[in-house]
Structure 1
């Protein structure tokens, strides 16, 4: 493909596998891009859009919201839109860093014309999480992303979790998707769909590249979380994509009459 020569070698493999899988299943998706990656890959955003996919914003330097302020986020959004164009309407915070401490980001997104956010991780993990948040799409309060407010101009799409007794288990992507058997993930998707709810899944491009170089990390735990299950990710994702009908956030909102 024309875009292949314009991406860093390891990113080529992951993005190519993602696009091949989506083409195989005639599925469109939302690609949340980091600005500096897009900047170093001229034309790739336009080509993704030409393929029918949606481009969302994932920060310009992959800096968590905890390390930013409102004006820095606003500047990053405007810089990214100079690359992606005004059609970018969705945001996912790096490291799922939207929580009560960083609720200010929602007001910035609304002021900058975003339609939706998908940064709420409605389960507790060692690194992040908003365990009290709804597990279905909702309109978040601009003062507290874990609270529903029908007056909100934004839609929130939390990542998929399942309820197991008093516990919420995250299964929507990353290490958690790599750890769980495909049958468990498919069962969780079907349970949500049975109740008329969408399942929000995500995968990083590097997770689709089993040849990704191993580099020294801060601890054995971080090494395990980063590299566990990489060799089976493509196979697992193929099974998941075959089990249900998927679309981008834009596609879902248009289908449900929620697009602005």
Structure 2
């Protein structure tokens, strides 16, 4: 009888060891963690859960990162691709890679990030010494507004109005132009001059505004952080995506004041 117990115990130990060896390296199990650390990966089919398991950030097989709550989806990256994986890099950039390339990027930060957390308030937050990015932010809401209006043509030649509506405000560009003593038809130039300006424009992080000296009244778009902008004058004269270098004579990027 003792030999039987010994053999059974040995068999159980071997099975447990084999299962442990199958656990993914550098990635969290789908239902046990609420955060992602530096140099760790959230692979396709894996999730981060809030501490109370009320909210889930799921890396879907279609390449879309989606935050789900009790009532369904509340935020998504609006990305598509096969073999998608989310990586918190050591340069503070939260990047989604796929077999097709980079799908999503928050951009490099001056302060280092140490974790991505799925919180109990439904907010997916990238933390460093301060909050570096959050799914429940005004810039993410603006990006979602643009995605919800893809294909709309009523904002052609009204890029500043589209940006204002995306951020849930209005009249700010005209005020900025008046403060700068500029003609009212040069609102984008004036707004750029009234922002904390940053270059190069190619480094524009997700959610920032990218300004261009395309004409007398200029152009403004919003960066989605992977070398792409959302604009009211995308190819086809409609709201859509375009490469960040699509528009002529870029100034640089700046954070929206709203």
Please indicate, yes or no, whether the TM-score normalized by the shorter chain is above 0.5: no
Higher relative contact order (CA 8 A, sep 6+): 1
TM-score by length of 2: 0.28
TM-score by length of 1: 0.28
Structure with greater strand share of residues: 2
Structure with greater helix share of residues: 1
